[in-house]
Amino acid sequence: MNYLFYKIKQNPFHVTIGLTMLLTGIFLITHDRYFKWPPMVVGFFNDDIIGGLFSLVGTAMIVWALWKRQSTTIDHIILIVASMLMMLLTAYQFLHWVILGLDMPWISNLGLTLIINILAYRSDAS
């Protein structure tokens, strides 16, 4: 148990972002009509695969943070994929807000995307 707390204390941002992405993925999986625009691609974006990608990346980030031997290369890959997913979600939510006037949490997702980018920038490049 002490080891678990030690690893969480060592990588708090990874664990927090991982949990946020995991929960975002679960939210997207359980809300099949979350996105409403444009009609020709709404089915793709509301598919459970999108939520599954968020959950998978979030789980991978948590597992990496708790792993005994942490690879910097794997960390970079996870952070890049997480940043891309969050930026796509933010942009899509922003378009919903601008075009349809729907309340979407694009501002908080933009903040999380920037935190992921800062974390990736500051991570070890060895």
Neighbours of 110 (CB within 10 A): 17
Query: Using CA atoms, how far apart are residues 93 and 97, in angstroms rounded to an integer?
Result: 6
Contact partners, residue 109, CB within 8 Å, separation at least 6: 86, 89, 90, 93
pLDDT at 126 over 70: no
Query: Using CA atoms, how far apart are residues 71 and 14, in angstroms rounded to an integer?
Result: 14
**3-state SS assignment for residue 101:** coil
HSE-CB at 71 with a 13 A cutoff on CA atoms is 6
Whether the Cβ atoms of residue 56 and residue 18 lie closer than 8 Å to each other: no
Q: What is the pLDDT of residue 18?
A: 98
Q: What is the pLDDT of residue 122?
A: 87
Q: CA end-to-end span of the chain, whole Å?
A: 29
pLDDT at 83 over 60: yes
DSSP 8-state class, residue 29: H
Domain boundaries, the chain: 2-122
DSSP 8-state class, residue 40: T
For 73-98, what is the mean pLDDT? 97
